[in-house]
Structure 1
Amino acid sequence: MAAVLQLLLLFAVSNLCSAVHHKDAPFLHKKFPPYFMWGTATASYQIEGAWNVSGKGESIWDKFSHAGVIHNQDTGDVACDSYNKYKEDVQLMKEMGVTHYRFSIAWTRIFPTGKADSYNAAGMQYYKDLVAELKNNSIIPMATLYHWDLPQQLEDVGGWLNDTVIEHYRDYADRVFSELGDDVKLWLTFNEPFVTCWLGYGIAVHAPGKYEKPGVDPYICAHNIIRSHAKAWHTYDDKYRESQRGKISITLDADWKEPKTNSSADRAAAERAEQFKLGWFAHPIYKNGDYPKVMKEFVAKKSKAQGLPVSRLPQFTEAEKCMIKGTYDFFGLNHYTTQYVADKEDSSYVSYDKDQDIDVTVDPNWASSGSSWLKVVPWGLRSLLNWIKYEYNNPDLYVTENGVSDKNGTLNDTFRINFYNGYINNVLKAIDDGCNVKGYTAWSLLDNFEWRQGYSEKFGLHYVDFDDPDRPRETKDSAKWFKKLINTNGWEELKDASSPKYHPDGRLVFG
């Protein structure tokens, strides 16, 4: 009976989240709350360049890109040259009027080998200078400790598959807190660990390019990252919180998983898909220290069918569950797109994605972007924010990434304005629904190295000419629009003919 009641509650919450997105809901002409924060974001490997200067060590992305596997054989060796041009980048942010800047720290600049005994003061000084420049321009720094660029020397002994990495990461986090924590008050331990574990250790799309045990290695990687996150959180909580008075969490990526039909099977499949991706990391941290029940059940079932004596999903000890539970001060969310999910049993071969028994599709009518995986579905963000509200007891939440790509980097990027207009308005609708969203961060400040796609996909609010050794920046129309939005803190009722015009779905109408 308890299981039936739990299933009915699951369906009720799923239906509620689906109902509140109101795909055809009219554009909301209101302001954001006065406390709302507006920011933009980057990642170290994508913008800094200077890959081997001032004592920096080799990262897995240095090695991966040098292997010639990136589009057009691009690398991040120079990227946007932000290592040398960070002051210019801060001025771009100041011109837009952002309140905060989310950036990441390259582990290999601080500990070139990944280990504490290799401390590199010159690398730390770069981030001290960046933070000082931000503060001098009244921009709040939000620092991410790990955005995918693991020290190669740690990968040489197993990387995230070797649990010795946990203490090395804790040592790295400890040193960064001690050096930067007086000035940095917002911390993120990891960026999108799902991508690290599935794309890096499951299907070899990202560094380190492993594709050996896609039904085992991604789970081991996640297990070690979750424990690393908890160690870093407790290090901050125990040693630095009282004096530095900052906040620390993790940022997770999630698509909205919409049931393909209203059948109970498809609704359960959509819920299962959300738990297998977002819940994989969020459930241990934001709920009870352990993986989602449905995830444990499905991986155990598939493991048994293989003839394995135990599940491929690792188990936390009771002590680890206590250590992990509650290691957050807010919820960091990266979101870009939505899919339809249907129930579909799959026993073709064993891997993380096949463990879920789902079929994922998109609506052919959804607008495309410069990235094959990114379809424009603004209402999905509102649905996801409401799902998080109900699933994790409505935590304070920052949208830490949201943006859209193109292929040509045009300055007149009307499509990007429409993307932001639709998605950000759905953040406002979610706040109206009662979601505790405290800020929004646009991805990205600059066109940059877009991982496996090199420089062929551009997400920036500012254009960068990668054919020019000086890497000049130019402001796109989307940055000018974002500046206006920040200045007005949202939208008000349109009352005069000179005001911008909107289509009912939120698109700006030009001309």
Structure 2
Amino acid sequence: MKLKKDFLWGGAVAANQVEGAFEVGGKGLSVADVMTYKANVNVKDYKRNVQVTSEDIAAAIADHTTTDYPKRRGIDQYHHFKEDIALFKELGFKVYRFSIAWTRIFPTGEEMSPNRAGIAYYQEFIKELKANDIEPLVTLSHYEMPLELALKYNGWQDKRVIDLFVKFAKVCFENFSEVKYWLTFNEIDSVTRHPFISAGIIEDQTARLEEAEYQALHNQFVASAIVTKLVHEIIPNSQVGCMLTKLTTYPATAAPGDVLAALNKNIMNYYCADVQVKGAYPKLILSYFKQHDIKLKTTSEELQTIKENTVDFISFSYYMSLLAAQKEDGLTMTVGNTVAGGKNPYLKTTDWGWTVDPVGLRISLIELYDRYQKPLFIVENGMGAKDILESDGTIHDSYRIEYFEQHLSEMKKAVEAGVELLGYTSWAPIDLISASTSQMSKRYGFIYVDQDDEGNGTLKRYKKDSFKWYQHVIKTNGEEL
């Protein structure tokens, strides 16, 4: 069984990591715009990199520069998008996943009318993609909610944010009706790992943090269901997906206690997809809420809305697998994608400690498809590495080619096993600002961008060796890796 002829090959980014131009065209501050680059913090200490205090926010608002806030400058794709899209066309992209910055459309989130300059920018961006035969895949919320909503409502824990998000989404559907594929919330389950980035929850202002996190998740489920219905009404034949962080966890040993620990980790990882695909809270999660005294504010109308408006497909990120044990003090711990877990002694790791597990991608695809029987879409997969720009303008990244060869081979085996797969977008096709560490030196792309962690550089784009390799993979529809 081969990949279908209309398989969607491409790449994925987030607005806050590539666009820059944080004060151009009437854009407001987002939660990403107050994330600092911490040069002296261990890059593997993800918790310190994603935590933001009230004091941090106040300092960021007073500082109008990009020096300490790399996501404000990104790679300046705002001004380079035609050049970048031309490179994506050369790669042979069928699809490009990007997000629409909420704060370009509604700078604070509460304006009565949308910002026309923001709408015009994305209309031009989508027009350029279409002119190059690249299908847009749009994420509505990718770690970039308006900062004002975090300050005023403590983010998504407040139900009033639901209507504000629906208003934003409706403007997107009405103005970008050429877009067929939509995602609602990026890695929606990440609210419990980094509540400020994902949901605008300021931890030092929150008395019952875990309850606030799950309330925010519920409110996002409701919002996702409402806009799923809305886009189906406004854009005929559109498709909406949920987006999950696929955190595949293995037991550290065959000991029943370790197997149980891994099972519990995987159940909690699936919970957000369960709600959005099956339309109801799993009983095991309701039991967890009761055991941990988590009381959510829900209504029968909200639960009915969730039930009636499930997603069309399941998209997910996959970077690594982890180990779990009954007694974690016996594990060697590692981190990756803002989560910590046991390090697998059978697997290699990247420069940032993320385990490399290609077979885990096949396992993840088979598990997801067996559980949900819905089309799947891999919308993030890749490795961060330290690339060297040679004096002749070349970048030799054989390690990246090897990583993708192995993962795509396992992806194909999952399809051969019967998994229905819509497409694959690498994270990321072009170097960008890292989500967790706000680094530039953690490079993902097939395209090198001349900029360092402090923002120095020409921003010139260079093709890495992996560029030509991925180009050939797409040209042969994955037949030749």
Determine if the TM-score, normalized by the shorter chain, exceeds 0.5.
yes
Amino acid at match of 1:253: T
Superposition deviation, residue 415 in structure 1:
1.1
Determine if contact 1:70/1:451 at 8 Å carries over to the other structure: no
Alignment of 1:149 onto 2:157 = no
Query: Pairwise CA RMSD of aligned residues?
Result: 2.5
Distance in 1 between the 2:125 and 2:224 partners? Answer: 24
Alignment match, 1:415: 399
The answer as to whether partners of 1:289 and 1:320 remain within 8 angstroms in 2 is no
Instruction: Name which of 416, 420, 440 aligns with 1:432.
Output: 416
Whether the 8 Å CA contact 2:14–2:99 is kept in 1: the answer is yes
Residue deviations 1:15-48 (CA, integer Å, cap 9, x gap): xxxxxxxxxxxxxxx8423232101011101000
Amino acid at match of 1:361: G
How much identity, in percent, do the aligned residues show?
A: 32
2:342 counterpart residue number: 361
Given that 2:427 and 2:444 are in contact with CA atoms closer than 8 Å, whether structure 1 keeps it comes out as: yes
**Number of aligned residue pairs:** 434
**1-structure distance, mates of 2:279, 2:174:** 29
TM-score normalised according to structure 2 size: 0.84
CA distance in 2: counterparts of 1:80 and 1:479, whole angstroms: 18
Q: Does residue 342 of structure 2 align to residue 342 of structure 1?
A: no
**Structure 2 match to 1:140:** 135
Structure 1 residue 200, shift from structure 2 partner:
2.6
Question: Which residue of structure 1 lines up, in the alignment, with residue 93 of structure 2?
Answer: 98
| Aligned partner letter, 1:370 | D
Q: State the shift of 1:65 in Å.
A: 3.3
State the shift of 1:115 in Å. Answer: 2.2
Q: Distance in 1 between matches of 2:385 and 2:279?
A: 40
Change (3 A) 1:487 1:281: same
* Corresponding residue number in structure 1 for 2:203: 210
**Cα distance in 2 between the residues matched to 1:122 and 1:191:** 25
Aligned-pair CA distance for 1:313: 5.2
Cα distance in 1 for partners of 2:18, 2:459 equals 11
Alignment match of 1:478 (pick from 446, 463, 466): 466
**Equivalent pair of 1:284/1:321 in contact (CA under 8 Å):** no
* Correspondence for 1:402: 381
For the 8 Å contact 1:296–1:313, the answer to whether it is kept is no
1:38 matched to 2:38? The reply is no
Letter aligned with residue 189 of structure 2: F
User: Equivalent residue for 2:332?
Assistant: none
Cα deviations across residues 118-162 of structure 1 (Å, max 9, x unaligned)? 411001111100100011111111111111111011111211121
1:256 aligned onto 2:241: no
1:257–1:274: 8 Å Cα contact kept in structure 2?
A: yes
Match of 1:466 in 2: 451
Mapped to 1, the partners of 2:284 and 2:256 lie a distance apart of 15
Alpha-carbon distance in structure 1 between the residues aligned to 2:464 and 2:26: 35
CA distance in 2, matches of 1:151, 1:427: 36
Task: Decide which moves more: 472-481 or 134-143.
Answer: 472-481
1:296-346 C-alpha deviation (Å, 9 max, x unpaired): 323422x2xxxxxxx315264443233113521111111110012223599
The corresponding residue for 1:173 is 169
Instruction: Find the structure with the greater CA-based Rg.
Output: 1
Give, in whole Å, the separation in 2 of the partners of 1:174 and 1:151: 17
| Aligned partner (choices 8, 15, 18) of residue 47 of structure 1 | 18
Q: 1:264 to 1:321 in 2, by over 3 A?
A: farther
TM-score (norm 1): 0.79
Partner of 1:324: 306
**Residue in structure 2 matched with residue 160 of structure 1 by the alignment:** 156
